[in-house]
A = this chain, B = another copy of it.
Amino acid sequence: MNAHGNDSSTRHVFDTAIALTGEDGTALQGQTHPDYGNMVGPFGGVIAATLMNAVMRHPQRLGDPVSQTVHFAAPIADGGFSVQARIMRTNRTTQHWQVELLQQGEVAAFATFVTAVRRETWSALDAAFPEVPPPVSIEPAAPIARAAWTARYEMRFVDGAPLVAHAHTDSSQTRLWIRDTPGRPLDFLSLAAMCDAFYPRIFVRRPKWVPIGTVALTTYFHADAGQLAALGSAPLLGVARALRFGNGFFDQSAEMWSEQGELLATSHQVVYFKE
């Protein structure tokens, strides 16, 4: 067992960080975890996963996540919080959800979900799987000491590492191999968190530190539970880029691929920045 409680007989620190306790159907209790701390408060990806966890453990859940939208409505303080999931509508094969996270009686974050029972249909891939060097050929980047969560991911940057003085800064694109540290079998929860593990694009496009914060994050899940489980703890290829920066906000879009070229999830967010 290492410092982060990872061996075959104990829970992965990610599962501890997203854990919710309490009786089904009532407000559940959660707690921020120092290992997934950010510069201020918790890493947004682990909050996204925690809100999804309220749906995943709900006894009336129908199917698996198809989409998730998270609003980071206010700073979340380190410590405890409560989470309440509400089924907005249940159809034959799809279900719509709203989940709220409260601190001191106020909504600090909330999320909406679509879950669905998926069945095989015609399929096609329109996005192109990027040709990049394999993960083993790239050294993992050093984590950022002030942001504990960065040590919980192994990140091997193909290009677009943040806060580097680039030869050219006309692109906000990053491509990287990423996985949980220590390794953890992939599922919807860890994939939801990983979709928020891209550094804000402004730090790639403009190598200057400014206060930023994700305001809202939407992820679409293309893979099913079996496909994710089959990937184990293998690294995923993440690709992220921004489209437009201006008047205090920018948007960024990301793709998450398996090494075999399956598009597992696509994710979009709008981020506040100062200056």
Contacts and interface: CB of A to CB of B under 8 A. Distances in A.
Interface stretch (A31-39, A144-152, A248-256): A248-256
Nearest to A108: B89
A127 B73 CA distance: 27
Main secondary structure of the interface of A (DSSP, over half): strand
A125 B246 CA distance: 8
| Interface residue tally on A, bucketed by range | 35 or more
Contacts of A110: 88, 96, 98, 112
B127 A246 contact: no
Contacts of A96: 71, 73, 107, 110
Interface in A23-79: 66-67, 69, 71, 73-74
A110 B171 CA distance: 36
Interface of A: 66-67, 69, 71, 73-74, 88-89, 91, 93-94, 96, 98, 100, 106-108, 110, 112, 114, 116, 118-127, 171-172, 201, 205-206, 215-216, 218, 220, 222, 224, 241-249, 251, 253, 255, 263, 266, 268, 270, 272-275
Given A118-B248, A121-B273, A94 B215 contact: yes
Contact of A126 (B125, B241, B268): B241
Contacts of A275: 121-122
A66 B218 CA distance: 14
A266 B248 contact: no
B98 A73 contact: no
Contacts of A122: 206, 245-246, 275
A108 B89 CA distance: 8
Nearest to A274: B121
Nearest to A100: B88
B125 A215 contact: no
